[in-house]
Amino acid sequence: MMEFEIGYLGLLITSFLAATFLPITSEVFLVSMLVLGYDPWITLFYATIGNAGGGWFNFVIGRLGKPQWLERLKVPKNKILRWKDKVQRYGQWLGLLSWLPFIGDIMSVALGFFRAPWISSFSFILIGKFLRYLVIVALFVLGWL
């Protein structure tokens, strides 16, 4: 049984790291575990919690961020204004799209940086991550992956 515990823990950690700016893909790890016979519902749970945790981490980093950091990183003013406009227009709903590669990480940080409500932002990040992994697990269980 120890091997299963390490497997699920590995999925949790991989999913967390994949939600940060590190170039890691958790989908391959998730599908590999399913191929090896791991329980689909448990893998769905750990992948979702890990990836949502990474999204929440990004949100908190954004919340702690300071405008001076963006200046030091030489982020163009027009990009900052564009993300501010998106957060003001769509708010925490952007969290539903936080699963998207590359841009999803930026969305989570922007939600925090531009002070979107944290409870609803966290909720939408969780829902978005869950739906993404649910589709992957469902496709596998149905034999389409």
Q: Where are the domains of the chain?
A: 2-141
Residuewise pLDDT in 10s, the chain (145 residues): 455 457 999 999 999 999 988 888 899 999 999 999 999 999 999 999 999 999 999 999 999 998 888 888 888 889 999 999 999 999 999 999 999 988 899 999 999 999 999 999 999 999 999 999 999 999 999 999 8
Tell me, what's the pLDDT at 102?
A: 81
Yes or no: say if 20 and 57 are a contact pair by the CB < 8 Å rule: yes
Tell me, what's the pLDDT at 71?
A: 82
Yes or no: say if 44 and 134 are a contact pair by the CB < 8 Å rule: yes
Sign of the alpha-carbon dihedral angle for 100, 105, 111, 114: negative
Please name the residues in contact with 97: beta carbons below 8 A apart, sequence gap of 6 or more.
Answer: 103, 104, 107, 128
Tell me, what's the pLDDT at 2?
A: 52
Using alpha carbons, select from 130, 123, 66 the residue that is nearest to residue 91.
123
* DSSP element (H, E) containing 109: helix 103-113
pTM for this predicted structure = 0.90
